[in-house]
Structure 1
Amino acid sequence: MFNLKEIKSPDFYYNSLFYDFIFNFDKVRHHYCYDYRSIGEFERRADDINKFYDNDFRLKIVNILKSLNSRLCCGKRTLNNIELLKDRKTCVVIGGQQPGFLTGPVFIIYKILTIIKLSQYLSALLKCNVIPLFWNASDDSNFDQVNNFYLLNKKVKKINLALPEASGLKKSRRFSNIFVSEELIRQKIEEVKENLTPSTDFTENAIDMLDECLRVAGKSFYGEKTGLNPPNVLNLSSFFSAIILKLFSKYGLVVIDPSEPDLKALALKLIKFDIENYAGIYDAVKEAGENLKNEGYHSQIMSDVKNLNFFLDVEGKRRRFIEVKNGYFALPDCILDENELFEFLKSRVSQLSLNVVLRPIFQDTVLPVLAEVCGPGEISYYGQMKKVYEIFNLKTGIIYPRFSATIIESKIEKSIRKLGIDYEELGKDKSRIRKKIIAHIAGKDVEKLLKNFESDIFLKLSGLKKSLSFCPKNSGGTSSTGSYGTKESMESAGSIGSAFDRIERNFKKEIEVLGKKLYSEFEKRSDLISANLDKIYINIFPENKLQERIINVFNYINKYDFKLLDCIYDIVKPFDFYHEFLIIS
């Protein structure tokens, strides 16, 4: 189904740290616990798990996962994988993301496929069971991150949830606390259906699958069982989990959700450790961030104050604990010392959620994590986490880059061929490509001609300026008439020099205007350029972002059926980290 083209252009690798992580790992190796490129490192990590992982967590985790995944009507292979976690040799490959509407941007699907493929590869390599596990980051906040759904045809179509139940949501609201009615979600699914173009033989199957997942999520939602919410209401994170379990049932994907009360209870010991060691943790994160900046990268985790690394949910909003003085922390109505705070939190575990520092520590404490599949942002986060893990006497799992790709449909591939564009030349700067194409069609390099023209004019102006110099030097500093060195003559020469400078500036502006008009005229003469180039860029860089960061997978399932996922799975190759153009043949 696909022809593949590996792309190395930095425009497809997000930031310089991620680019060097892929292509120059030795430059950043000291920021990470393991070398993800080495098979021997996976064997070493498996040995480290056997030495340091607390196997007492296994049965508790199995029970939590079995309860959650069963409620979401998972497949038999998922349940079998959960049972395998009882074995002390079983490890997991994990990855996670916020619960996007209808799975969110397609990169989340790529991440899940990477988790599954790597787990199967490592199972064979290490001769032990390695389970694919997805962390539904329902404890995260910021509704704007999951509020939109994008489709793509001739233009980008944005569908905004804009749910009445979600109106006025603050960035501090946990996803697990965003409740919506099944009816409203059903209306949004219908809106998606209306915008899936063209309608195909696969459209109804896709919509039926989403409707089924909505019913499953509604029936299984935890709040309904405990009476925390009215009937026919669910949260978006449960719906998300139901969809990905259905999509990847045949592969035995397992979902874990931090909003599960029994899972939260396991974090209490970690919370206590954080209260006692928050200052050292803060210093470790800050120092690592400064080291990255000194090396020319960016600091992903930033904080100006010493916070505890968790939040308390108060009336639906996540509240931080900020140090007001050494060892004392502010609550809305009181100030508590470390011991008082821990006693206060012991009866409120279900209201706690961990931040970007403590969450991975918790994950790697309660789970036997062999590797974590990460995107560019997460890889940047982990660049600041090595010393934090050392404080907890832990190591990260192996940080492994997720599969990254751009789907090139046949109509787009045809446009690329028409314009004679090399795939490696494609980047976010569309104007550069446009100029090159126009030069090719015009039979000459227009930009070079204009630059030569500009140089010729400035050269002649410079010659004229020298030949008309009114201030020739002589030994006495004046001319033979004795008048050239006067104040008036010097001012006159300065005025003439300014006039030449003004002429040069005006010429430069006019040449720029001429260049734009020439390019515009060439484009008008050739609709092929503008129409095809716009079509290419809308597909490859929708909203001026990478396709995988915007467009939803159902945009493609609608056209190519669910078999598309199997086709992508087949081309995900362990230890191949290029961004791929998936050219549909």
Structure 2
Amino acid sequence: MQMETFHWKKNQKLAEDYIAQTDKAKALFPYHFGNLEDWRSRVQWLDEVKTSPQVDRRRLVQVLEKYNERIGNTQAAFDHISSLADKDTLAIVGGQQAGLFGGSLLVLYKAISIVQLAREWSGKLQRPVVPIFWIAGEDHDFDEVNHTYTLSNAQQIEKIKVDHPTGRRTSVSRLPLEPEAWKEALAALDQSLMDTEFKASLFAKLEVTTEDGATLSDAFARWMAILFGEYGLVLIDSDEPSLRALESSMFEKLILQNEAYSGSLQKSQDEAQQAGYESQAEISSDGANLFIFADGQRLLLHREGELFTDKKKDHSYTKQQLQDLALTTPENLSNNVMSRPLMQEFLFPVLATVLGPGEIAYWSLTKHAFEQFGMKMPIIAPRMEFTLIEGTVQKQMNKYGFTFEDVLERFENKKQEWLDAQDTLQLNERFDAIKSEFSVNYAPLVESLAAINPGVKKLGETNLVKILEQIEFLRNKAGEAYKTQFDAALRQLERIRLTILPFAKPQERVYNGCAYMNRYGNEWLRDLIETPIPVDGLHRIYYL
């Protein structure tokens, strides 16, 4: 396996500073993933101080077993679930929305990070540490997860998507898709991918994930179980009704202490802003930071006087009414990005949570909220980052003298430099010389025409401009004709750019993993899972 590390600066300043352990960023978190003593301190706190998970572990195990049985997870995952009944078992947790066919590559990398950390710390602590992937099925932004991208053989970035089945603004996990919709999406993916020795097996597995009127969340969970089940990855949908029943008492606390809860979030936000960081999440003094399901929709609540209401004020509730809902029908309540970290801590014995850069930034806003509810924010571990580079692309980069950094920082300039170096005719210099020489000789003649007639001089000036324009026109046409000699090279250079930086974004944020599994099988994925890789916040270039 050939792999290189690269410091790809995060687009989120707080995350960049946190990973670098700057004092102002560290102050916003109770622990740091890079300090061994902080890991020991977290374990001690979980063993001696923490009163959560405040749910009955046996009930939690039952919920996890039922869900993982439904999605077809493996015995290794069930062994991990069983171990959660033991008070000595800890967990590494991370989550993501349920993307089409697994979503973008970064989802796989988050799962890899979770599995790797759980394995590492289970060995170091000599006690069970379970990898848990929390699927944010309760989120309602369908358009954010209903598509994925592949790079076709024609060097086009192709979008595969499914349409919203109802148009209702409700959780993704509550929207079953028709078999025809799944069939069309699979056909589009099939058409986008080349025929390989791995294709039939890949699509047979994908088809299984979409059976029985699957929601995007169902299909996603089944796919993740196929890819990571043998490594014991435990999966759970945040909108699973049986899980909601376990969350009942935490919802009650979030409702009864809602004003103080909002104040805790604002206090953390103020501290982050005073340290010079922009807030990654919208925190308002009247925000309830909870959703409610009403009339088939997922509605965000805020406080208005003594009531909790949605934005349009179609639905209003007293605190007592919400408390009753929390105790009797908790499935009608839902977390937002600020309350989900607290609920995760309430449910699981979290040693560390794996987050991306944006998540690191908004989790910083929950520090005082954790403390308010007698909890402590877990260790924040940055998700692993990778760019996959195929052998042909690597050869082309070497051929044209492009480094990874060249592609990120100066691709167009570097491409032009290469083209200029091929210009043995020195067309630009010769055309510049011709224009200059012509102007030098022609301009005095035009000036002398004034003695004959001002109108003739004006005509001469116009003539001069037109001749220079024609020379420039010929230069452009000659340049275009010259560049056609390098069409193959330009296509190869474009392939390099589209591989590493599609849509001017990191590859892992755009492309779906199925394209790479189709071309190379799953060995590259196994390499990334099974090879110990330090969690250090660095980006890694993996050569396929």
Which category describes the TM-score, using the shorter chain as reference length?
A: 0.7 to 0.9
- Matched residue of 1:534: which SS? helix
Alignment of 1:29-428 (within 5 A): 29-51=26-48, 52-54=50-52, 56-154=55-153, 155-163=155-163, 166-167=164-165, 169=167, 172-197=169-194, 199-215=195-211, 218=212, 233-304=213-284, 306-325=286-305, 327-330=306-309, 332=313, 335-427=316-408
Q: Deviations over 1:26-64 (max 9, x none)?
A: 441111121101222222111111121436531111010
For these two proteins, the number of residue pairs brought into alignment is 496
The farther-off stretch of 115-124 and 56-65 is 56-65
In structure 2, what is the Cα distance between the partners aligned to 1:519 and 1:528?
18
| Alpha-carbon spacing, 1:538–1:66, altered in 2? closer, same or farther (3 Å) | same
Give the AA of the match of 2:217: S
Give the AA of the match of 1:411: T
- Of 536, 540, 544, the residue aligned with 1:580 is 540
In structure 1, what is the Cα distance between the partners aligned to 2:521 and 2:138?
32
| Alpha-carbon spacing, 1:517–1:395, altered in 2? closer, same or farther (3 Å) | farther
| Alpha-carbon spacing, 1:108–1:440, altered in 2? closer, same or farther (3 Å) | same
- Matched residue of 2:27: which SS? helix
Alignment of 1:547-558 (within 5 A): 547-558=507-518
Asked if the contact 1:289–1:301 (Cα under 8 Å) also holds between the matched residues in 2, the reply is no
TM-score by length of 1: 0.78
Give the AA of the match of 1:329: F
Give the AA of the match of 2:309: A
Q: Which runs of 5+ in 1 are unaligned?
A: 219-232, 450-509
Give the AA of the match of 1:186: K
Give the AA of the match of 2:198: F
Report the equivalent of 1:532: 492
In structure 2, what is the Cα distance between the partners aligned to 1:345 and 1:570?
42
| Alpha-carbon spacing, 1:531–1:345, altered in 2? closer, same or farther (3 Å) | same
Q: Deviations over 1:477-531 (max 9, x none)?
A: xxxxxxxxxxxxxxxxxxxxxxxxxxxxxxxxx9xx99x9799778567546633
Report the equivalent of 1:452: none
In structure 2, what is the Cα distance between the partners aligned to 1:101 and 1:580?
25
The farther-off stretch of 49-58 and 365-374 is 49-58
Percent of aligned pairs sharing the same letter:
26
Asked if the contact 2:148–2:160 (Cα under 8 Å) also holds between the matched residues in 1, the reply is yes
Report the equivalent of 1:431: 412
- Matched residue of 1:234: which SS? coil
Give the AA of the match of 1:118: L
Asked if the contact 2:267–2:368 (Cα under 8 Å) also holds between the matched residues in 1, the reply is no
The Cα RMSD (Å) is 2.9
In structure 1, what is the Cα distance between the partners aligned to 2:21 and 2:339?
28
Report the equivalent of 2:527: 567
- Matched residue of 2:342: which SS? helix
In structure 2, what is the Cα distance between the partners aligned to 1:109 and 1:519?
48
Task: Give the C-alpha shift of residue 81 in structure 1.
Answer: 0.8
- Matched residue of 2:93: which SS? strand
TM-score by length of 2: 0.84
Task: Give the C-alpha shift of residue 428 in structure 1.
Answer: 5.6
- Matched residue of 1:311: which SS? strand
Give the AA of the match of 2:323: F
Report the equivalent of 1:20: 17
In structure 1, what is the Cα distance between the partners aligned to 2:112 and 2:491?
34
The farther-off stretch of 240-249 and 22-31 is 22-31
Q: Deviations over 1:156-186 (max 9, x none)?
A: 44344343xx25635x421111111234313
In structure 2, what is the Cα distance between the partners aligned to 1:341 and 1:85?
31
Task: Give the C-alpha shift of residue 79 in structure 1.
Answer: 0.9
| Alpha-carbon spacing, 1:422–1:430, altered in 2? closer, same or farther (3 Å) | closer
| Alpha-carbon spacing, 1:441–1:181, altered in 2? closer, same or farther (3 Å) | same
Asked if the contact 1:9–1:427 (Cα under 8 Å) also holds between the matched residues in 2, the reply is no
In structure 2, what is the Cα distance between the partners aligned to 1:431 and 1:300?
32
- Matched residue of 2:214: which SS? strand
In structure 1, what is the Cα distance between the partners aligned to 2:497 and 2:156?
11
Q: Deviations over 1:407-433 (max 9, x none)?
A: 011121122112212223331653343
Q: Which runs of 5+ in 2 are unaligned?
A: 430-468
In structure 2, what is the Cα distance between the partners aligned to 1:9 and 1:518?
39
| Alpha-carbon spacing, 1:295–1:534, altered in 2? closer, same or farther (3 Å) | farther
Asked if the contact 1:289–1:384 (Cα under 8 Å) also holds between the matched residues in 2, the reply is yes
- Matched residue of 1:371: which SS? strand
In structure 2, what is the Cα distance between the partners aligned to 1:194 and 1:357?
40
The farther-off stretch of 337-346 and 129-138 is 337-346
Q: Deviations over 1:385-405 (max 9, x none)?
A: 111211112112211011101
- Matched residue of 2:408: which SS? coil
In structure 1, what is the Cα distance between the partners aligned to 2:59 and 2:385?
34
Asked if the contact 1:46–1:370 (Cα under 8 Å) also holds between the matched residues in 2, the reply is yes
- Matched residue of 2:2: which SS? strand
- Matched residue of 1:50: which SS? helix
In structure 2, what is the Cα distance between the partners aligned to 1:213 and 1:239?
5
Asked if the contact 1:310–1:354 (Cα under 8 Å) also holds between the matched residues in 2, the reply is yes
| Alpha-carbon spacing, 1:4–1:276, altered in 2? closer, same or farther (3 Å) | same
- Matched residue of 1:246: which SS? helix
In structure 1, what is the Cα distance between the partners aligned to 2:142 and 2:2?
37
Task: Give the C-alpha shift of residue 533 in structure 1.
Answer: 2.4
Q: Deviations over 1:261-288 (max 9, x none)?
A: 2211222222222223323332332343
In structure 2, what is the Cα distance between the partners aligned to 1:334 and 1:262?
25
Q: Deviations over 1:373-393 (max 9, x none)?
A: 111111111121111211112
The farther-off stretch of 87-96 and 340-349 is 340-349
- Matched residue of 2:351: which SS? strand
| Alpha-carbon spacing, 1:428–1:312, altered in 2? closer, same or farther (3 Å) | farther
In structure 2, what is the Cα distance between the partners aligned to 1:116 and 1:7?
22
In structure 2, what is the Cα distance between the partners aligned to 1:138 and 1:278?
24
Q: Deviations over 1:553-578 (max 9, x none)?
A: 11000011122211122345133431
The farther-off stretch of 561-570 and 426-435 is 426-435
- Matched residue of 1:303: which SS? coil
- Matched residue of 2:140: which SS? coil
Asked if the contact 2:341–2:363 (Cα under 8 Å) also holds between the matched residues in 1, the reply is no
| Alpha-carbon spacing, 1:557–1:307, altered in 2? closer, same or farther (3 Å) | same
Give the AA of the match of 1:142: D
